[in-house]
Amino acid sequence: MTSQELYNHWLVSYPEYRDELAALADNPAELEDRFYRSLEFGTGGMRGVMGAGENRVNAVIVRRVTRALAGMIRETDPTGKRHVVIAFDSRRKSDVFAREAAVTLASCGVPVWLFESLRPVPMLSFAIRFTGAIAGVEITASHNPPQYNGYKVYWSDGAQLPPDHADEIIRRLNDDPSFRPMTMDQGREKGLIRSMPYVVDDAYIDEIKGLAIQPELLRERGGELALAYSPVHGSGNVWVRRALREAGVANLLVVKEQEEPDGAFPTVKAPNPEERDTMAMVVELAAKNGADVAFATDPDSDRLGVAAREPDGGYRLITGNQIGCLLLYYILSQKRARGELPGNGTVITTIVSSSLFKSIADGFGVETRECLTGFKFIAEIIERLEVEGRRFLFGYEESYGYLSNPNVRDKDAVNASLLVAELALWLKVSGKTLLGLLDEVYGRFGYYGDYSVSVQMPGKDGLASMRGMMAGLRSDPPKGFGGKATIAVRDYLSGKRIALGMGEESELALPKSDVLYFELGDGDWICVRPSGTEPKIKLYSCAKAGSLGEAEAAAKARVEELKAIITGGAGGQ
């Protein structure tokens, strides 16, 4: 159907949205944007702006996807005994959409265990595995602006859906205006909807505390550490504070203006701890009180941002790559010092994360495995490691996601918060600082500069532009960047690595994905990929040099050069 035909269909079929839709009659551009396509569903679920329409997040779309999920579950588990866990974060209508998903599953004969209040994404992942659920759903749009919401689906291993399951849900999607689910009360009366027992919360917190490398240090000297924290109006507030308190860190200041859940996120432009503006209030609180570290979590508490105190009393934001590498160094160095570093240990990162990570792991004789961007790929490797008899030690991606818990299969900011606190305490009692340790790590393992930028491409035209940009780079790859020649191009969509100049091709081991990776020699690289969850294209670069300043400048210059190429500016070398 055309956009106009779909619009007319919704006017007739979904009366609850009639008033909102009627207001679009004189706004053809908005009507087109809402109906030119159906909101895409992938291995991470779906995410988009809330509102009426096919290309929006709303109760109709939630019911439609949930019915497809229920159909796949009933076929996978014909007994109908295995349940689905549902959780939600602080976004507007997250609780409403969670209940919509619950009653839809119940109406399809699938049992549901529902968290009755906010829970982070990692707690959902843990609960799936802990309770033996067949799947899980979290209503969240992570760190996106307040007009967004989303629907993330997890499978029985606690990781986001594998591609074949996502494809099966897509195959089952269909519009059925006549479907009306039972009520919550009916679902509870039939025993198909039950509240998640609190024992799951306790088990998760115990699991987090058990990940401490030096638990005795936290118990005995945790009171010496001063921390400033913000949940940025999200779901981390209760769980981060509880994990730290029970581990022994009692001196935790919380930003009062950002403490309570609020889906409008009134104090920030976007609730993303990667952004300086988002970290401003927690940094201010830390400065007023002389805190050792300031940190913040995003609304679904899977991302963690950190600011470290400088000698002059100011605070420096640490990048996601730097946080990941500091945590890796702490975990490996302290496990070795305690005689607990296993010979079969493995750490995991993504192809767009800093090359410093592998350099550190190599220095400790620990295997590194790389994967595509997205924590679901890290989760897949964790699953394989168990089969291989290897031990997962730590995983991270540059976009502020970290994990040391094999019983959670997504990035976990509660886990990471405790690790950062423990690291900061160890440094404080040793007379050191986070920034001082960062300098030590660079001096020992190499000065790697990392830089990334996102180019926004909203709407129907943006999607076409992204496709055109990627096609152009494939047909005519840049010959080099910043004076360094392109040695080879890895095209993860074709699954080929092409050595330029020689024309030699080889197979890539990772799954196919719309990603181009340009090797520049000496470990330097630059990469471009469309985002799988937002209307933007992302550019990344890593460069090694004799100083951190030189490395960072080189990485930034190369990204800006590639940005100019794809947006029609100056070409590459």
Residue 71 has pLDDT above 70, yes or no: yes
Identify whether the C-beta of residue 241 lies closer than 8 Å to the C-beta of residue 229: yes
Q: What gap in Å lies between CA 16 and CA 169, rounded to an integer?
A: 26
pLDDT digits (tens, 9 = 90+) for 461-495: 777 888 888 999 999 999 999 889 999 999 999 99
> Structure tokens of 186?
């009916």
**Which comes out higher in pLDDT, residue 44 or 76?**
76
Looking at residue 530, its amino acid is P
Looking at residue 127, its amino acid is A
E strand or H helix at 402: strand 401-403
Backbone angles phi, psi at 343, to 5 degrees: -75, -20
Q: What gap in Å lies between CA 104 and CA 63, rounded to an integer?
A: 6
pLDDT for residue 532: 65
Length of the chain: 573
- Hey, is 220 helix, strand or coil? helix
pLDDT for residue 404: 98
The residues that are catalytic are 142
pLDDT for residue 536: 84
pLDDT for residue 533: 62
Tell me how far the alpha carbon of residue 475 is from its chain's centroid. Answer: 31
Q: What gap in Å lies between CA 90 and CA 259, rounded to an integer?
A: 12
Domains and CATH numbers, the chain: 1-33 (no CATH), 37-197 (3.40.120.10), 204-211+222-445 (3.40.120.10), 448-566 (3.30.310.50)
DSSP per residue, 198-218:
THHHHHHHHHHHTT-SSHHHH
Identify whether the C-beta of residue 127 lies closer than 8 Å to the C-beta of residue 85: yes
DSSP 24: T
Band of pLDDT at residue 572, cut at 50, 70 and 90: very low
> Structure tokens of 565?
């190429």
DSSP per residue, 248-303:
T---EEE-GGGTS--TT-TTSSS--TTSHHHHHHHHHHHHHHT-SEEEEE-TTS--
Identify whether the C-beta of residue 16 lies closer than 8 Å to the C-beta of residue 51: no
Closest CA to 55 of 566, 478, 459, 506: 459
Sign of CA dihedral 119, 120, 123, 128: positive
Identify whether the C-beta of residue 50 lies closer than 8 Å to the C-beta of residue 148: yes
Place of tokens 């340009």: 518
- What is the end-to-end Cα distance of the chain in Å, rounded? 46
Percent of the chain predicted with pLDDT > 90: 89
Provide the b/e sequence for 153-192 (b: ≥16 CB within 10 Å): bbbbbbbbbeeebbebbeebeebeeeeebbeeeebbeeeb
Identify whether the C-beta of residue 394 lies closer than 8 Å to the C-beta of residue 335: no
Q: What gap in Å lies between CA 101 and CA 190, rounded to an integer?
A: 16
Looking at residue 368, its amino acid is T
Residue 571 has pLDDT above 50, yes or no: no
Identify whether the C-beta of residue 460 lies closer than 8 Å to the C-beta of residue 33: yes
pLDDT for residue 567: 83
pLDDT for residue 573: 37
pLDDT digits (tens, 9 = 90+) for 549-560: 999 999 999 999
Q: Which residues fall within 8 angstroms of residue 339, CB to CB, at 6 or more apart? A: none
Average pLDDT over residues 412-424: 98
Closest CA to 463 of 39, 31, 25: 39
Name the packing angle between helices 3-13 and 28-35 (round to 10°).
80
pLDDT for residue 522: 84
pLDDT digits (tens, 9 = 90+) for 250-278: 899 999 999 999 999 999 999 999 999 99
Closest CA to 232 of 317, 287, 300, 292: 300
CB atoms within 10 A of CB 5: 10
pLDDT digits (tens, 9 = 90+) for 97-127: 999 999 999 999 999 999 999 999 999 999 9
Tell me how far the alpha carbon of residue 363 is from its chain's centroid. Answer: 28
- Hey, is 455 helix, strand or coil? strand
E strand or H helix at 247: helix 236-247
pLDDT digits (tens, 9 = 90+) for 314-365: 999 999 999 999 999 999 999 999 999 999 999 999 999 999 999 999 999 9
pLDDT digits (tens, 9 = 90+) for 495-538: 999 998 777 899 999 999 999 999 998 889 999 998 766 678 99
